[in-house]
Structure 1
């Protein structure tokens, strides 16, 4: 039997706990305010919307998760069209009905997430309550916007509902993104990037807004017309899932950097842009020295940690416009858009230095594990005008480095090392940080 003090909520950082409690308190006040201002509920429409959402979720979870495992092995589908049904209530139901549906669908999502995986992951109570609070606040805000607009003189004009719906959904979408982003930021200290990424998925948001508006209008005429939106919502969710799968395929699941195919796609686009604008571009091929010795001596689990640490170090050493990718094994590639030869040379040295500073700790190691990397560089247009030729030249430079000392940086057409070899011993051996 668990006690209140054993809840996972108390393990959150203090800022995250404060943010979650603030959002929950605001949602409770919104529910109380709604309950005291309206007696209308629209139970029939709300019930039909809830059943339609449940049917859509049951069908899509089975189909979507099966396809995701078949195509990407480990990707879990998290996108859904829940907002469509909530927004349909926002458009057509009184405020109490909107709040009731928001609570019901949030509970449905929690049950779906708990039972749609083979290991039946237990969802912490604070997360369930937070999700309910987030949807209640965002949907209530959207409903207030739409009802206020409809009651104003502007609401009498043709097209007024469409304008109100767009404004209301923008409020709901941005509010959910902001609330979720604020908690993620407070929990992990990652700034406001989660808010930006969630808030500006405008294509999916616009599609859900349009479908929710149509279902809401149809439901206001006859609640049972809501059933006609189920197959459309299923198709929309499949489209959103496809986008997520494409995004997942562009990332290496082990290190989080771009996958080989994702990196090549971006590099080909940047090379085409460089040709059309007569701008330079560079690539780097980075190889971890003595990586096989790491696996053979310390095991593949530590080898995976080395890969992850190296990917993180490489990413921290480049510009936001650059792109780090993994080509497989212990080989990484880096793209430097609009970078001349001197800038590429400086970037290559930063990559080498960043990985040389790593000190990887693991159980069983008396001293942290230190690594070095060898870096081969090539630049457009001097070293080639096709991506494959640039990679071949950078790989040739890497080959030269690997056979003349390792732990250095070299350009394709300049085999002389840019940095002097360092006599630091085998890179796979643990040394004092």
Structure 2
């Protein structure tokens, strides 16, 4: 078998998904390089990933050994695994929905062959995965504005049990999309047939029983849509290690070479954020909803999409001080607040700080109560009260 003759790196993305997008490919043969690029005014992330690979393969003019490197799981698995199944189903998914990118991979002649990973001229690419690039690779630079997307996907799951290492499986996935810290209106939600029984303890948490789940799709049937939805986004998850552990386990069942999601996408764990901000306190989703006055009265049982919606509000509240204070005050929210109505998290995040807050100093009674409390702490700690030491140091400095 001959060695690799041509190396190809591809990338693609769009602003908004769907929205304006671009793709690029770098082909290298020994010391020779060629860069291809293109774009469309209205497209999707996955279409741009596909177009990059198709254009690169079409550019080859004779039979050769090719190594094609991509950070898109959708591209790799779509062409090597899912396309044959879609083709048998008349370019429809297992849920009978039309395959969104069928126009790219089902095209006749040379382009169709390239999309399915086998050029008419004989090149059969060896597919390799890479981690999502952090730096400005040449292919990534060519995407232009599409590379600067600011998408966030808030994600939650439900499972048959607590331990993925004991063979427990996913049974529900819920995702909410944010753009520039605002809900875009897009979400992903599905129930799954885990092909195993649900533990009693888990059933009490989410209420999803074996009879209901046995009628749902299997993970392999929704994986492409899920990967398309989260592609290129920052994931926000509460206790991320748990959900990512189950997602990676499911994806690895489909592809043993699967690269963990945390190595391909940025991940923010709201549990860790909450523990940093509220050390020593309960930081469950319910506790945070109560702390931020977020209405979770409909949460009688856990549900992936419901919990993702609640977590969206919690995340915005947790991170409000980081980037949201520059927006103008929303007029409608201001009117509601003037009538005594409770503002939503997004409305609170939209308030602009126009002056420094007034600092209130403790009065004599409060200072006396504080001194008594310090006396008690100092006694209980046998003279190790940090406040007392600070006061002594301040006195020495004076």
Provide TM-score, normalisation by structure 1: 0.24
Which is richer in helix? 1
Provide TM-score, normalisation by structure 2: 0.25
